A and B are shown apart, each in its own frame.
Chain A
Amino acid sequence: MKRELLSGNEAIARGAYEAGITFASAYPGTPSTEILENVVRYKEDIHCQWGSNEKTAFEEAMGATFTGARVLVAMKHVGLNVAADPLFSSSYLGAEGGFIIVSADDPGMHSSQNEQDNRNYAIAAKIPVLEPSDSQEAKDFVVEGIKISEKFNTPVMLRSSTRVSHSRSAVETGERETPPEIHYEKDFQKTMLLPVIARKKHIIVEERQKKIKEFSDTFKYNYIVEGKTRIGIIASGIAFQNGREVFKDDWFLKVAMPYPFPEELYKKFAEKVDKIYVLEENDPIMENFARLITPDKEIIGKDFFPLTGEMTEDVILETLGKKDLTPEFDINSIPKRPPSLCPGCPHTATFHNLNLQKVTVTGDIGCYTLGGLPPLNAMDTTIDMGASITAMLGMEKSMEKAGKKLKQAAVIGDSTFFHSGITGLLDLIYNGSKGTVIILDNSITAMTGHQDNPGTGKTLMGDDAPVVDILKLVKDGLGIEHSFEIDGYDVKGIRALLREELKREKLSVIVVKRVCALLFKKPNWSPTIVDPEKCIKCNLCLKLGCPAITSKDDKAFIVSSLCTGCSVCIQVCPHDAMHHSDEDGMHIKDTSLVDFFKGGK
């Protein structure tokens, strides 16, 4: 046995290997992305792939379960909203070969639009959920989860969180179990959810839950830690680890399976203590079960601890009144360091123009969401993946009905367009939208760390794949007459095209094409420089938000080590004060779409 320091996500991937899983799929999303990126290390044994979205990834995994395979599907918490439809079906259909659904939740919203607690989904879909508290458990729970899944013929949810997924702790690795034999025999009673079949299945699901509930009491990862006081703590996930820093002498009920809740084990624990604290992140799930079982016990949960944010050691101590967190130094008094689009980002010129033309922009989710922050300020809304297009249609039609009109555009990235933009675009065509859809095609899923997608020409396993040409898709495929492609660095071209299309009383699509600036291997770009004689400090270039542009001695100044020579600022400067330091040098703008260095994962 080997001990290694693994992140929770690496450990989940290792668990997939050891559990004998042979099929894994996902759509990238922080904090879940690295799971599949690590499963790919075992690609000899595990087929792995990116889906276009979480729903497709989930259904692909279900397809594999029909052949008896052990499977894993991974996504971030909000991704499960997209895959909620097959999730509920999968509960009824069961999983002969073992089925792990990883939901990586994000308490504290480090990189998400909400803080939903996906244990609620497990309860609603009637499947068991496991909550690891460190990397060892993250790995073990995949292996255990597969056993539970096969024993009870149910999918099993593994609820990770940002802190579990992105923290590293020691893991003892083991051998791979022999996967079950892959086979398929037609048996539609097993695999078709017609009402007549589903009615029978629902009864089985309810019976199954009772059995899993009994199992939960004996599951070895649900256990009691003896204490020296009459105080007890129920804890799961990272909150267990945080809680152990605080409650050093008290009893613990460590819960690995918050649903179905280990009722008998809880009763034993409750007898030993007079007062119970419940430490869980987000919703009061275990707390509510405990209250139902022992209504007369003193239970302190979310009426006391915050419902929002993370349950850290400091939060617990402060809530208990044991630590004053008023900072000695007020960090709000110093400038923040918000993330920004990179130097040479292919999205900058588009947002710059949208801002200048005062367009109402329904936005979407990706790096380009940063275009909504100052100084670009070029986004009005973000809802979820794909909503830029559909929200624009709703606004347009509502205004139209009232006899009003907005200058509107929807902005969406290539990966998000593949994820759930295409269906929205169909709605626009079908309902006669006159709007403008801007598809920022940087040929990668950039935000989550550069994953391949149907537009990149590579699969997760590194094989070649056909490249979906977005312009062809919308123009020739969907028949949108006014479809255009333009270079992301062509500031004036984008300006002119936008002006034209925003005026047009017809639907149009602008594909802004340019590879993500970070996809080039160790570039040695020759930078742009400012001629201080010509610069009158009008600050227009500073409004691009390019991290390479700053000011010095009351003139614009370019930090050459950061500059890519993309030439966007050169085109923006009305006083001709900017130029390449070396016209024959390497500039990102001169690279074609083919000769960039891709991925390399």
Chain B
Amino acid sequence: MKALLEVRRVSKKYGNGSTALSDVSFSIQEGEFVSIIGPSGAGKSTLLRCINRMIEVSSGEVVFQNVNVTKLGKKQLKQVRRTIGMIFQHYNLVNRLSVIENVLHGRLGYKSTLAGMLGLYNEEEKKKAVEILAMLGLQDQIYKRADQLSGGQKQRVGIARALVQEPKLLLCDEPIASLDPNASKTIMDYLKTISTTLGITVLVNLHQVDVALKYSDRIIGVNKGRIIYDGVPREMTSDMIHNIYGSETGDLLFDLGGENAG
């Protein structure tokens, strides 16, 4: 195993003076399933977006596959971005387009300007997209418009769009925050399968501690822009959870007992 991603001493200060990240460092091995947990406003979304530079870091560096992403020019940045899939809380699909069109958007990073504008995809890409949709149980929705799908189905289209990029890493920003428990479980199960069978590294922001404990190889706890826990779920204590979520959270709405007893 070697480090796929290294985040070194990253800080982020927004224009309005608020500090979202202070001196954050961690590294992720290839194939790992890592969750970032923390209260809202802790800096989880900012952290995730600093990795593919959807947000520029203020200081520090991000090294992905031995390439310092923070130093790249526009063109090379695009090449790195297409090897990193991203999944969003609100799915971020083009609602008026069909499922298959949305999935094929994942190939745009590989296209020339003209081919991208016209949406010229080759047979192989289309076949791959259909295969991925079938794998995610969406074989019957291929030609449906994205806005006719349920939330869980939309998120699976989002996952398919990321997978068709043939990524090394998936960044998921609260992928289940807008879903009901059933759909949430389906999505988390798919993400886990993707990590174990396709060997794709998964980094997922969550605010549900129980979900993070159940699915992750490793958990990173963030509070006020700082990492205050980085370790396996087994060693997570309820004291630590209180620290991550802040002391004012009197009693959290779940119990650690069963999960971590064994």
Are A and B subunits of one complex? no
Q: A-contacting residues of B (Cβ < 8 Å)?
A: none
Q: B-contacting residues of A (Cβ < 8 Å)?
A: none
